[in-house]
Structures are given as structure tokens and as C-alpha cells.
Chains A and B, each alone.
Chain A
Amino acid sequence: MKSGTLRRFRTLEDWSRGGSWLHRRDPRFKLLSALVLLAAIAVAPTRSFTGLLLASAVGLAILFMAAVEAGLPPLSILARGWVVLPFTGVFALLAWLEGNPHRAATLLAKSWLSAVTVVVLMATTPLDRLLAGMQSLGVPPLLASVVQFVWRYLHVALDQLRRMQVARLARGGERRFVFAAATVAVLFASSAARAERVHRALLARGGEAHFLLLEPLRMRPADWCLLGGALGSALLLTASGGWQ
């Protein structure tokens, strides 16, 4: 889980630094387009099985094309959506056992397509640019900088945890409840000390805690094309879901 989580995260970040047409779009428009697509997936009426299949195929095609356009490996992108399976699988199984296979299939398809949509968004948008975009859309600056800090120090905290676990293993690796509690407490104390050092470093540079972008956000006509495309896809997806 630990290394897997980190690997997933790092690949996503590598992908997000590409230079394709989709990568170069304004993060605000990419976020809005993703939300429009997510909303379409959520509200698509899938009463009939044909409708469900058609809507899923349309959604799949849109996301597949987006991944190919962005120069991302489409199959890995689609596979990554299956991280929702542990949660969705349980409820799909419950619905199946209740004798409602249609509902089970709908849950699986909708939650998977939604997850893949977010993966495509994050694989084409670096987090710092997305956060800057969210800030200009009204997310409070303090919240945006806390997200940045969490993202920045996540690896530091996880690396420290790994070192502590290796050290524990090297000394016999006894597993006890109180040892785990002590690990968390030490992690807390050193995180607090780290925060103090970070603050002093900020003071030494004479600045407040804010993050800069290498390239400012700029809105271009192509961004409107992206949003228009997303709206069109959303209508197509909802429409195909209503097929009787």
C-alpha cells in the first residue's frame, strides 16, 4: 500500500508535466470541463441496459481520446480508475444479491468513469496550476496554500515513516499497540518541529507563505473550445443514456 500509493502519485505527477494541447489548456477550463463531464455521468438516465451500455461507451470513447491526445498511455489511465473498486464492488455485490444486476452495473460504470475523468484531469494538469486556477475561481488562498503544503511535505513525512519502520525492523521489529502509538507521536512531534523550521526559513526570505507559478494562467480561445467540447460530450453522453 505504502510504496504503491507513492508510485501512483509520482506517475501522475510525471504525466501532468507534458506539453500536449490538453496539457497547455487553462487549468480553470480543464476543471470546469471535468466537472461538466462528471455531472453528465452522474445525471445520465440509464433506465435501460442499452442506454447504460451506450452511455458507458460514449464516456469511455471521450476519455480514451483525451488520453491519446495528451500522449498518455490510455490503458493505464483507464486501469487507474479501478481504485474505486473496493468501495463500489461491495455495493454492486449487494445490489446483485438483491436481484438488481442493472443497478450493480450502473454503480460500477458510473463510479469507474467518474474516477477516470478525474485521473485524466490530474494527468494533464500539475497540481500547483490547478490550485492557482481554483484560487482564481474563489477557493480561499489559505486553503490553497495548506493543500500545497500538505502536498509538498507528504513525501517528507512518508519517507520519515519508512525510515522509522526500517529502524524498528532492524531492531527486531516487534509489533505492539503502544509502539505504533509512539511512532505516531514521534512523527507528530517532528512534524511540528519541521513546521517551525519551515516558518523560520520563510521569515529568512522575508516573505509570506505563498506559491508562485512558473508561467501565469492565461485564457485563450482554445480553452473555450475545450469547454464547448466538454459540454457537447456531456449532452451526447446524457442523450445516449436515455436510449430506450
Chain B
Amino acid sequence: MHIPDGFLAAPVWGGLWVVSAPAVVAATRRAQRDLDESKVPLMGVLGAFVFAAQMVNFPLGAGTSGHLLGGTLLAAALGPAPAIVVMTAILTLQALIFQDGGLLALGANLFNMALVGTLAGYWPWKALAGGRFARAGLFAGGFCSVLVCALLCLAELSVSGVHFGAAAMSLALGVFLVNAILEGLITVAVAASLDSIRPGWLKAPAGAGQPVLWLLLGFATLLASAGFLVASTHPDGVQHLAQVTGLASHERMLFKAPLADYEIALPVSAWIRKAIAGLSGLLLTAAACVALARWIGRWRSA
């Protein structure tokens, strides 16, 4: 589910960088505020643990095996903000050293796996951790986290114009569903083992008082990402709706983007215009990232 470079359209990876970069900065500041200094080595060493744990094969019978992804386990052990930081570190290393996911696509991969995936894994756990159904919370967390990642990944690819046939799409969804169930099962099995070594590693977070709210958040995330997938595979549906409601005729007036269709009016040949528009779009994206990160930084530390 690590998207390499060359797949996503420029607005998709650019836009997701604009979302992910400030969100990761905010999570880092929050982790820094909430944790004491002793937790910095813990975050790093647990990141290395997740890398190693992903190499452990869980036999599933008939010669097949699966492995842990670990986002939910991290979130349950460290809390959401530090888990986001650790997942960001892992994904960055994977992109830089193992070419697992591209550098431009890192914004999208961070959004899917480090941000939304971690939160989707954390909320069900937070909802149920206090009561008798803690294990069910872990299972639901692992399940939601992997499924949400997969749905977002498929949606981003579809929006970028990577076509799936109906058969390939249903096969992919089936594989991801199995993976999601597996992640839930492995997370629960590891938690059970951990309890027999030393209880209290995955303890209920303080202030877990509103199970219904957190469960709703978890499932809303799942539904929203499923909605993104549906909307992205049927873009004609949205257009049709716009035509029916008469929005389409106002479209030009409503959305007059400065770089519409990635072309800017200069008296040179088409490809230079496209190249310059692409590069200036990139610069604008980068500037927006920096500005937003700065602003959030100031707002959080104020």
C-alpha cells in the first residue's frame, strides 16, 4: 500500500502534502508537549520494533502467511500523537532507503497510513479499552486502520486516472478485507501475549469516557474513506448531479482557478506552458505547506 512516484496526479500528491505536512508538525508538537524526555528513545526503539515485527510471518495454513502492520499496536502503546510521529519516521525511512513508496507520494502515504490509519486504529481502541471489550476494541482498531488505508489508497489512485476494471477492483477489495481482518487478529494475539509477559503495557488511555463518540469517529472515518472511493471511481456521477442541479453552468464563474488545467497564458508553445505551470504549481504547493506549518506551529505554541 506504499504508493510509488509516477502514479498520483500532481494535484493529488501536492494537495495531500499540504494536508499531511502541517498535520504531522502538529502531532509532533503535541507529542513533545505530552511526553517527557524519556519517551523519545522509546518512540525510536519501538519504531525499529515495528520494522522488525513486520518481518515475522504469521502462518495462515495452506502455505500462506501474513504479517503485522503495527499502527494500531503503536497507537495503543504510545497514544495517537506519538504513534503518528513514529509512523511518519518509519514511512520516511522506507521511502528514502528501501524505495518503498515515493518521495513525492510520501505526503499521500503519510496521510493514508501515518495520519488517518493511526487515528482509525486508535479510536475504536479508545472507545472500548476501559471495559470488558478491550480485545474487541483492538480488533476493530486493526481492522479499521488497514481497511481505511486501503480504501484511501485506491481512491487516490482512481482520482489520478489509474483505471481498475470491475474485476480487479473487487479482487483488490477482497484482498484488503482479508488483510484488515488479519491485522485485527494479529494485534489481538500479540496483545494477549504481551499481557502474559507483563500486564499493563497496553493500558486504557486516561479520559476514555465516551465510548459511543469514539466508536462513531472510527466508523465515520471508515465510511468517509469508502465514500471517497465510490466518488472517485464514479466521477461522472458527480458531474451528472452538477448538470442536473444546474451547477455546471455556473462552474466557470465559481471556480476560476489561477492554474486551471495546468496552463498559463504565455506566447510560447504548449509544452513549455505546461512545464512551467506544473513547476509553479509545485512551488505554490511547497510555499503553502511551509506557511501552513508555520502558522499551526505558532498557534499551537501560543
Partner of A142, one of B85, B96, B279: B85
Count contacts on B: residues with CB < 8 A to the other chain. Answer: 82
Q: Tell me whether A191 and B85 are in contact (CB under 8 A).
A: no
B102 within 8 A of A: yes
B211 within 8 A of A: no
Chain A residue at smallest Cβ distance from B88:
A143
Count contacts on A: residues with CB < 8 A to the other chain. Answer: 93
Which of chain A's residues have a CB closer than 8 A to the CB of B104? 35, 38-39, 42, 114
Q: Tell me whether B47 and A187 are in contact (CB under 8 A).
A: no
Q: Tell me whether B45 and A122 are in contact (CB under 8 A).
A: no
Q: Tell me whether A154 and B51 are in contact (CB under 8 A).
A: yes
Most buried by B among A118, A158, A186: A118
Given contacts A146-B47, A238-B278, contact A114 B6 (CB under 8 A): yes
Q: Tell me whether A199 and B31 are in contact (CB under 8 A).
A: no
Number of cross-chain contacts by CB at 8 Å: 267
> For chain A, what secondary structure do more than half of its interface residues adopt (helix, strand, loop), or is it mixed?
helix
A61 within 8 A of B: no
B24 to chain A, nearest CB (A): 7
B235 to chain A, nearest CB (A): 17
A2 within 8 A of B: yes
CA distance A196 to B2 in the complex (A): 32
Q: Tell me whether B56 and A192 are in contact (CB under 8 A).
A: no
Which of chain B's residues have a CB closer than 8 A to the CB of A119? 99
Q: Tell me whether A157 and B48 are in contact (CB under 8 A).
A: yes
Most buried by B among A5, A43, A192: A43
Which one of B127-135, B189-197, B244-252 is at the interface?
B189-197
CA distance A241 to B192 in the complex (A): 55
Which of chain A's residues have a CB closer than 8 A to the CB of B7? 88, 91, 107, 111
CA distance A234 to B89 in the complex (A): 29
B112 within 8 A of A: no
A77 to chain B, nearest CB (A): 12
Q: Tell me whether A149 and B99 are in contact (CB under 8 A).
A: no
Q: Tell me whether A122 and B97 are in contact (CB under 8 A).
A: yes
CA distance A12 to B96 in the complex (A): 10
Other CB < 8 Å A-B pairs besides A114-B6, A209-B40, 4 of them?
A: A40-B279, A83-B99, A152-B48, A235-B275
Q: List 30 A-B contacts (CB under 8 A).
A: A1-B55, A2-B55, A35-B103, A38-B5, A40-B275, A41-B6, A43-B282, A45-B271, A81-B99, A94-B168, A106-B6, A114-B6, A115-B99, A118-B96, A143-B89, A146-B43, A149-B89, A152-B48, A180-B56, A180-B59, A183-B56, A184-B68, A184-B186, A188-B77, A192-B201, A195-B42, A196-B42, A199-B38, A234-B279, A239-B271
